[in-house]
Amino acid sequence: MKAVVPAAGEGTRLRPKTAEKPKGLVEVNDHPILAYVFDRLVEAGITELYVIVGYKADQIIREFGDTYNGVPITYIHQREQQGLGHAILQAESHLRDNDEPFVVLNGDNIMGDSIQNPVTIGRQPDVDVVIGVETADQQTAQQTGVVVTDEDGRVTNVVEKPTDPPSTQITTGCYVLPAEIFPALRLVQPSDRGEIELADAVDLLISARMHVQAVPIEGPRVNVNTPEDITRAEKILQEPG
């Protein structure tokens, strides 16, 4: 299975740490954030990495080269950052003819545990899409993607940054997606934020009666966006597990 790692953003909330380097190279416990992302993917059996780069891309390319722990890396340049959906679209030419689904794991995601469970469920023939989820408070749910499910965990709706969240189950930046996501993303109109929202494309697949499954992410997790997040990530990585 292949994986897409969006890592093109500037990481402005991590300034001054990102003034001279991209967010993916900011260190947590003396290792770049992206190294932890790659580790989780490699241990889950990923065979190819497609890394979406933009801000100070040359530094990421020099740091990791053509392979990571024996897994080949292809770098794809995102000239303008227009949301997660737009980042995934940059990999279309490499993945649209894929016979199997692919994983997306955001390049600022520090996971305290394996992502093997969502990857395994994403391989099941009766599941088309997997969204890794976790439970959050109401305030956090207003700032990210919110997932609505039935009693079996099948997703019925995904809403991006709702003012009045219909659920406190949120996305985690971990997905397993089929090639059908690419035409769906091309149909999506930019949101009020001017971004191509992955949530809108997933909703199109739900409307097409594809099986979208929410899978809880095991262990703690941090999206590293601020200096405080670095401290939280360091604590997660120090915990046994």
pLDDT, residue 70, reads: 95
Is residue 224 scored above 60 in pLDDT? yes
Distance from first CA to last CA of the chain, Å, rounded? 25
| 182-202 per-position pLDDT tens digit | 999 999 988 878 788 898 999
The CATH H-level (homologous superfamily) assignment of domain 2-238 is Spore Coat Polysaccharide Biosynthesis Protein SpsA; Chain A (3.90.550.10)
What pTM was computed for the model?
0.93
Instruction: Grade residue 92 by pLDDT with cuts at 50, 70 and 90.
Output: very high
| 240 confidence band (pLDDT: 50, 70, 90) | low
The average confidence (pLDDT) of the chain is 91
Over its C-alpha atoms, the chain yields an Rg (Å, rounded) of 17
Tens digits of residue pLDDT in 124-182: 999 999 999 999 888 888 888 889 999 888 999 888 888 888 888 999 999 999 999 99
